[in-house]
């Protein structure tokens, strides 16, 4: 009888031990460093260590010049030297450096925070402080490339100062018998429509420009049949100025400024011995280009650590799993400079998480237990 009682007590003790073990499994935090291909433990919460991505938004001015069709005759008819070649010129007018935080895909941890609602809520609060982040998290969007259209090669077709055609009278001869019965050649005038030469059109356009200038002077001094005063005078002069500008552009050419914008991302690598990266490239012919396009000169992003040192390290699996600790990163402050040749385009202080040290904190404390 005593043996049965003792055996029953032993069975009860075993049940209590198993129950306590099960309770400990669900209430005590467990952590596991995940590698590529590792299965996610059931009931686990996945988090990643943060890393900094540096976004560079660039605005460039694109000056596009199209030579006028009458440029070769500008000196002869207007007394001015005009460029005869088309050209493009790009220049950077604005740069912004913005750090953003994203999940480091090489540093992911699976943790079981137990069945405490308070622990789960506090764990999310720990995430919101930026020391750990959810996998796939990225804190800012990207800006697409924006390339405005260039000047159309037929822009001057919309500005017609004179007609493209002219009447040309030519003398043709035919043979006829005169009164004496002799065969003679008789002139027969014939009018035909022919296309004007470029120089003819340039000469007529220049003459029209001078007439417009004279008309403007006549209006201003009152030497016209019509009386212009007040708003009418201003409108008349304004319209003449517009016409003169349009016709003159047939000699001097047309210049249009467009804005080109693009955004580039650089993710610093802690293991690099030299923290200098090609952020993007700049071409005199194409403007803003990505870093891997060798058509333009490089614009560098240079990172200098301030009052600290780079203490980057890999996740310690044993430390992260030991007693359910939370692994987190503290950032290192760096001075980020964007350099084009010898010119510093922009600079600012930014935190870089992947340069910082990985620390471990007991999850029970971090989760508010």
- The pLDDT of residue 343 is 93
| Dist CA 10 CA 15 (whole Å) | 9
Query: Per-residue pLDDT for 38 more than 60?
Result: yes
Q: What is the mean pLDDT of residues 350-362?
A: 86
Q: Are strands 87-112 and 30-34 parallel, antiparallel or unpaired?
A: antiparallel
At 10 the pLDDT is 38
Q: Label residue 24 by pLDDT band (50, 70, 90).
A: very low
Residue 303 pLDDT greater than 90, yes or no = yes
Question: Using one digit for the tens of pLDDT, what is the confidence trace for 83-114?
Answer: 999 988 999 999 999 998 888 888 887 777 66
pLDDT for position 50: 87
For 356, other C-beta atoms within 10 Å of its C-beta total 25
Q: Is the pLDDT of residue 369 over 60?
A: no
| Top-confidence residue, 47 or 167 | 47
- Of 272, 260, 330, 263, nearest in space to 302 by CA: 272
Confidence of residue 133 (pLDDT cuts 50, 70, 90): low
**φ, ψ of residue 136 in degrees (nearest 5):** 80, 0
Residue 12: what pLDDT? 41
Least confident of 31-35, 200-204, 281-285, 353-357: 31-35
Least confidently predicted of 2-6, 241-245, 257-261: 2-6
Instruction: Look at residues 243, 167, 186 and name the one whose alpha carbon lies nearest to residue 210.
Output: 243
Give the pLDDT band of residue 45 (cuts 50, 70, 90).
confident
Closest by CA to 312, choosing from 358, 347, 352, 343, is: 358
What confidence tier does 118 reach under pLDDT thresholds 50, 70, 90? Answer: low
Q: For a pLDDT cut of 70, what percent of the chain falls above it?
A: 66
Look up tokens 């590529």; give the residue.
36
Quote the mean pLDDT of the chain.
Answer: 76
Alpha helices by DSSP H, 256-325: 317-321
pLDDT tens digits for range 54-73? 999 999 999 989 999 999 99
Mean local confidence (pLDDT), 117-121? 57
Residue 69: how many other CB atoms lie within 10 Å: 19
> Across-strand partners of 304?
335
Q: Is the pLDDT of residue 362 over 90?
A: no
pLDDT at residue 199 tops 70: yes
pLDDT the model gives residue 301: 96
pLDDT the model gives residue 282? 94
Q: Which of 34-48, 139-153, 212-226 has the lowest mean pLDDT?
A: 139-153
Query: Residue 23 and residue 118: Cα distance in Å, rounded?
Result: 17
Pairwise CA distance, residues 232 & 238, whole Å: 10
pLDDT value at residue 213: 92
Compute the radius of gyration of the chain from its Cα atoms. 41
Average of pLDDT values for 289-307? 92
């Amino acid at each position: 009888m005593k043996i049965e009682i003792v055996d029953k007590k032993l069975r009860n003790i075993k049940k209590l031990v198993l129950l306590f073990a099960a309770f400990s499994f669900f209430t005590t935090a467990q952590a596991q460093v995940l590698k590529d291909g590792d299965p996610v433990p059931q009931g686990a919460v996945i988090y990643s260590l943060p890393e900094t991505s540096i976004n560079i938004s660039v605005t460039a001015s694109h000056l596009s010049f199209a030579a006028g069709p009458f440029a070769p005759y500008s000196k002869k008819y207007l007394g001015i030297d005009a460029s005869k070649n088309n050209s493009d010129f790009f220049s950077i007018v604005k740069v912004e450096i913005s750090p953003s935080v994203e999940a480091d895909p090489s540093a992911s941890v699976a943790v079981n925070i137990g069945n405490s609602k308070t622990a789960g809520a506090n764990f999310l609060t720990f995430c919101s402080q930026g020391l750990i982040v959810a996998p796939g998290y990225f804190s800012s969007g990207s800006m697409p490339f924006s390339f405005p259209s260039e000047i159309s090669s037929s822009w001057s077709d919309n500005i017609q100062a004179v007609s493209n055609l002219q009447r040309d009278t030519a003398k043709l001869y035919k043979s006829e018998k005169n009164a004496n019965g002799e065969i003679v050649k008789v002139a027969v005038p014939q009018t035909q429509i022919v296309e004007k030469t470029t120089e003819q059109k340039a000469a007529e356009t220049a003459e029209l420009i001078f007439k417009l200038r004279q008309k403007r002077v006549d209006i201003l001094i009152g030497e016209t049949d019509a009386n212009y005063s007040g708003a009418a005078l201003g409108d008349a002069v304004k319209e003449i100025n517009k016409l003169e500008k349009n016709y003159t552009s047939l000699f001097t050419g047309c210049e249009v400024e467009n804005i080109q914008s693009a955004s580039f991302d650089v993710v610093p690598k802690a293991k690099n011995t030299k923290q200098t990266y090609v952020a993007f490239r700049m071409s005199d012919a194409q403007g803003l280009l990505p870093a891997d396009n060798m058509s333009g000169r490089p614009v560098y992003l240079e990172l200098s650590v301030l009052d600290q040192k780079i203490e980057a390290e890999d996740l310690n699996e044993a430390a992260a799993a030991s007693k359910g600790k939370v692994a987190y990163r503290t950032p290192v402050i760096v001075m980020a400079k964007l350099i084009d040749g010898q010119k510093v385009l922009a600079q600012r202080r930014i935190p870089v998480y992947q340069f910082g040290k990985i620390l471990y904190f007991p999850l029970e404390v971090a989760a508010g237990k």
